[in-house]
Amino acid sequence: MHSKIIKSEILKFNFNFLLKACLIPFFILTYSLVFAQNENPEGFILSPRVGLELDSNEIEYFNIFPDIDDAKSAVYRLDNFQNLRMLISLTNGKDTTVSFSKLGAEELGRYIDRHEIIADSQSVINWELLPGYGTSKMNFFEDHGSILYVHCDSVVYSGKLLMIEDNYLILWLSTQPFRPDSWYEFSKKIPFEKITKIERKQDLTGKIFGITLGAGIGAALLNIGFAAFNSDNLSFENSLYLVVGGGALGAGLGWLYDNLTISRRKYTVNKDQGNYLNTKRKLEKRAIFSKIFPPELKNLKY
C-alpha cells in the first residue's frame, strides 16, 4: 500500500515537472514574440525630417493623416514584420491607431522627404502604396514671401521672408526656390537684438500701376490724335509715338508712386523689441510661413 502511494506521488511529481518544463518555454517564447512585435528596431526613423514622435506642426505641415483632422501627436514603431504602427493622440483625449505595410512605410518616408517638390513632380510618389493620400489632400505653400533688406550694423541681409516670430525672423537668401536639403545653407535666422532697420522691396503693385496707367494714357492720346487729325495726317508712325509717349509718361508716374510710398516700406527697429513687434505685425502676412511651417525652421540656429 505504501509503495503504491509513493509511485503515485512520483508520477504526479513527474507530470507537474513535465508540465512546467513545457509551459515555461512556451510562455517565454510567446512573450518574446509579443515584445518583438512592439519593439522598434534600433535606428529606425521614418524620415530625417521628423523624430520618433510627430508633433502637431509636423502632422499638419506634411498632412500625414489626411483623414484625421484632430491629431495632436503620434508615436510610431516597426513590428517584427517591418509593418509600421502609429499610435495617434487626438485633441479630445482619445487615441487611435494606423498601420502601414512595409512598402507603404517606405513610401510615407519618401512622401515626407520630398514634400515640397511633389506638386511639381507627382510621379516621385507611388500613390497606390498610400491609399487615401493624394495631391488634392496636401497642404501646399505659396512661394509669395516679400523680399526684405535687413540691416544689422555693418551687414545687410537680403532675402525672401520665410517666417517672422516675436524674437527673430528667418530669410531665404537664395534666388532659387527653397528645398529642405538647402535649409541650413540658405536660411538665415536673425534675432531682433541685431536688427537696426528693415526695408521691404516694392512688389509688383507699383510696376503694374505704371504699366496700366501708361497703357491707358497711350490709348487716350491715340484717341485724341484720331480726333485732332484726319486719317491722312495720322500715320502709323504718329500712332506709335503717341502710344510710346503715353507708356513713358505712365512709367514715370509709376516710378513716382513707388517713391512716394517708400516710407511705408521702411521700418526702424534699432534693436528694440517694441519697435520690432510693431514691424512684425506689419510683415506677418507677407511671410511664406506663419503658424504651420517646415520642421527645419524650428531647429535652425542663429
Condensed to tens digits (0 to 9), the pLDDT of residues 169-221 reads 999 999 887 776 788 889 999 999 999 999 998 766 555 665 666 666 656 66
Nearest CA among 164, 186, 190, 169 for reference residue 177? 186
Is it the case that residue 116 has pLDDT exceeding 70?
Answer: yes
Mean pLDDT of 39-60: 82
Q: pLDDT category, 19, cuts 50, 70, 90?
A: very low
pTM over 0.75? The answer is no
Which cell goes with 168?
527673430
Q: pLDDT category, 163, cuts 50, 70, 90?
A: very high
Q: For residue 249, what pLDDT is reported? A: 67
pLDDT in tens, 229-270: 555 555 666 666 666 766 676 666 666 666 666 656 899 999
